[in-house]
A and B are shown apart, each in its own frame.
Chain A
């Protein structure tokens, strides 16, 4: 069965960095685009970043552009989010999500990880 397991969350200071990982299993990882989505405490869902199935294209929300980098290692079935220059407003649960259609860019999510909490505080 499909499993997505995030790790790497924790506490960081403003201006600091964290790298999130999302380990994937149960499907052919290299065939599917992947996303990061976040949710601030008590708030709604916010799309963060997308990476194409082959890593050849990425897209970012304006709120994280220039600070966050999405990447993937298809040989190890792992998705990453490098977060630099962290701000208080980046405090959220971060989810990785798999898109439903193989080789697609525009598709809904059929599986989500359990989320990892990032807290930015001095």
Chain B
């Protein structure tokens, strides 16, 4: 099975900060990686697919990069609505795994 390791587990930041979350795969997954945002009591929402493709309706302050085994999600200027938990997911066919999540908290 492909393991996904996210870091950090928790991140404290202020409105306006640039934030970066990293996700590492235990083996190459090409660009088969998505990023999701989840708020308490709600279902996750996709932000980025294919490692760097911004989903429709997602603010442009979100961006994704990477390929192979190292990926990053960047929020260029953190907004109040962005305080949430973020998950990466690899979706090679017949092998789907999530990272353990990164909680972005208010500093």
Contacts and interface: CB of A to CB of B under 8 A. Distances in A.
Is A bound to B?
A: yes
B43 A115 contact: yes
Nearest to B43: A112
B72 interface: no
Given A100-B49, A113-B43, A44 B94 contact: no
Contacts of A112: 43-45
Given A44-B100, A95-B43, A108 B94 contact: no
A45 B98 contact: yes
Is chain B's interface secondary structure helix, strand, loop, or mixed overall?
strand
A100 B89 CA distance: 14
Residue among B55, B93, B99 having the largest count of chain A Cβ atoms under 10 Å: B93
B98 A108 contact: no
Interface of A: 35, 44-47, 50, 59, 62, 95, 100, 104-110, 112-115
Given A108-B89, A108-B91, 15 more contacts: A44-B87, A44-B99, A46-B98, A47-B96, A47-B98, A104-B93, A105-B93, A105-B94, A106-B93, A108-B49, A109-B36, A109-B44, A109-B46, A109-B89, A113-B43
Interface of B: 1, 32, 34, 36, 38, 43-46, 49-50, 55, 87, 89, 91-94, 96-101
